[in-house]
């Protein structure tokens, strides 16, 4: 599996299922525009580059790769504190970004940062890893949502209704991405 | 099923589904043991810190402290793995770091709101043990289905029997079938 695949599966195969609605009664509403989605991909890619460079030039030379989660936490909490301070400095009310989606957003950023640890060779790979993590998020929240709406109209056996068919649908989509990963991304990133 | 039982089932299911990143990457017994052990340590640390920090700190600060503790725990686990087997660390460190970023750990890091909940907080440890065991079990089953055998050694079993089970797609299909099997076994449907 390539680093792009790792980033994709972490966000797609994992935590986004929670928001996407595998859990009964928590199917999320995705009102964001495609412009916002694009901005989100850019943000994830930039985060990947930042954290990747930090990992490469600060942690690795000192042999401190193991503390990568702590540096990421400091990065996230530090960015949050900086944002609060900025709003306080310009005397504007601070709108707390830690809403219901913040958990998934943080995970996407972490997936991007995580892949950065393996992308030593190129900034382009860091950008690609971050973008692919964001793409995994969007695939789960947009494409699979459409599949779910279609499945609502299909005569699914009672045993498989709900979570089982959603997991299996996600599995089939993941299988499709595995083909793309093996034939395209693996050749780019190794 | 009563509303209360339904809520409990939904929360338990939500926490289990939140483990999916680890279940997806747990494609063998060895990596399952590594991830399960790390998850148990991280989960226990998060729940212990949430209980030990004074309530007067406020919910948000306690959450931040608990998550910081969980991340430090995952770093300690990664360091131990590196000392024990550097090759295993190289092949698994990105997955090990994920343990602190799963829904059950986030839930454990939230300070219990009532005194009754605080007194029952030891259940978090039992939950962590259960989730950790589930990660190991999924790794074992996937390796068995992918290669037809199980081995604790690294990369000894080629995926020749049912290769798709070693892929992330295999984990999701397995979870879907497990959910359907669970529904048949308990004979009580879960709302869509």
Average pLDDT over residues B91-97: 79
pLDDT for the residue numbered B1: 47
Q: What is the ipTM of this complex?
A: 0.77
Q: What is the pLDDT of residue B34?
A: 92
pLDDT of the residue at B43: 92
Give the pLDDT confidence of B133-179 residue by residue, as tens digits: 999 999 999 988 888 888 777 655 666 777 888 888 888 888 888 88
Q: Which domain holds residue A184?
A: 3-189
- List C-alpha distances in Å: B35 to A38, B5, B175: 33, 30, 17
Return the pLDDT at A121: 62
- The answer to whether residue B101 sits within a structural domain is yes
Statement: the pTM of the whole predicted model exceeds 0.90: no
Average of per-residue pLDDT across A75-89: 77
Domain count, chain B: 1
Give residue B82's pLDDT band: very low, low, confident or very high (50, 70, 90): confident
| A-B Cβ pairs (cutoff 8 Å, strict) | 138
| B64 contacts on A by Cβ (under 8 Å) | 77
Dihedral (C-alpha) A152, B178, A139, A187: value to the nearest 10 degrees? -140
C-alpha distances out from residue B19 to A155, B32, B130, B184, Å: 29, 12, 12, 22
Q: Which of B101, B103, B104, B109 to mutate to test the interface with A (most CBs of A within 10 A)?
A: B101
Residue B37 is assigned to a structural domain of this protein: yes
Closest C-alpha among A49, A37, A34 to residue A137: A37
Task: Render pLDDT for B107-122 as a digit per residue (tens, 0 to 9).
Answer: 888 877 677 777 777 7
Distance between CA atoms of residues B118 and B122, nearest Å? 8
Q: Please check whether residue B43 is in contact with residue B100, taking contact to mean a CB–CB distance below 8 angstroms.
A: no
Please tell me the distance in Å from B163's CA to the nearest CA on chain A.
Answer: 12
Chosen for mutation from A66, A133, A154, A181 (greatest number of chain B CBs closer than 10 Å) is: A66
Q: Specify the DSSP element, H or E, that contains B109.
A: helix B103-109
- Residue B144 in domain: no
**Position A187 confidence tier, pLDDT thresholds 50, 70, 90:** low
Residue numbers of the domain that contains B17: 3-139
Q: Can you give the pLDDT at residue A167?
A: 83
Query: How confident is the model over A93-134, as pLDDT tens digits?
Result: 766 555 555 666 666 666 666 665 555 567 777 777 777 777
State the SS3 of A31-56.
CCCHHHHHHHHHHHHHHHHHHHHHHH
Q: Is residue B143 within 8 Å of residue B29, measured between CB atoms? A: yes
Residue A78: what pLDDT?
A: 76
- Of residues A1, A167, A172, nearest to B175 (C-beta): A167
What local confidence, expressed as pLDDT, does residue A27 receive? Answer: 47
Q: How many domains does chain A have?
A: 1
């Amino acid at each position: 599996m390539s680093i792009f695949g790792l980033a994709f599966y972490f966000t797609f195969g994992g935590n986004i299922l929670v928001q996407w609605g595998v859990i009964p009664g928590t199917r999320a509403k995705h009102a964001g525009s495609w412009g916002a989605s694009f901005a989100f991909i850019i943000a994830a890619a930039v985060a990947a580059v930042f954290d990747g460079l930090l990992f490469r030039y600060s942690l690795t030379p000192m042999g401190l790769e193991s503390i990568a989660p702590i540096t990421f936490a400091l990065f996230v909490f530090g960015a949050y504190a900086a944002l609060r301070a900025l709003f306080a400095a310009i005397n504007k009310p601070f709108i707390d970004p830690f809403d219901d989606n913040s958990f998934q957003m943080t995970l996407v950023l972490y997936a991007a940062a995580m892949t950065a640890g393996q992308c030593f060779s190129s900034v382009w790979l860091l950008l690609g890893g971050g973008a692919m993590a964001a793409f995994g998020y969007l695939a789960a929240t947009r494409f699979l949502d459409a599949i779910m709406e279609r499945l609502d109209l299909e005569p699914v056996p009672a045993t498989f209704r709900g979570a089982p068919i959603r997991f299996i649908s996600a599995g089939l989509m993941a299988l499709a991405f595995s083909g793309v990963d093996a034939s395209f991304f693996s050749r780019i990133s190794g | 099923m009563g509303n209360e039982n339904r809520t409990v089932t939904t929360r338990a299911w939500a926490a289990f589904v939140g483990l999916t990143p680890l279940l997806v990457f747990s494609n063998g017994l060895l990596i399952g043991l590594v991830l399960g052990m790390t998850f148990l340590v991280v989960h226990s640390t998060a729940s212990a810190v949430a209980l030990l920090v004074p309530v007067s700190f406020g919910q948000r600060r306690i959450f931040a402290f608990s998550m910081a503790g969980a991340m430090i725990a995952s770093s300690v686990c990664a360091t131990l793995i590196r000392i024990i087997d550097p090759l295993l660390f190289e092949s698994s460190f990105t997955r090990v770091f994920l343990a602190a970023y799963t829904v059950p750990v986030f839930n454990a890091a939230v300070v219990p709101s009532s005194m009754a909940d605080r007194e029952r907080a030891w259940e978090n440890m039992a939950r962590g043990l259960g989730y950790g065991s589930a990660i190991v079990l999924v790794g074992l089953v996937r390796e068995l289905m992918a290669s037809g055998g199980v081995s604790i050694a690294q990369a000894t079993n080629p995926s020749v029997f049912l290769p798709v089970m070693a892929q992330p797609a295999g984990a999701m299909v397995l979870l879907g079938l497990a959910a359907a099997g669970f529904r048949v076994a308990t004979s009580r449907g879960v709302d869509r």
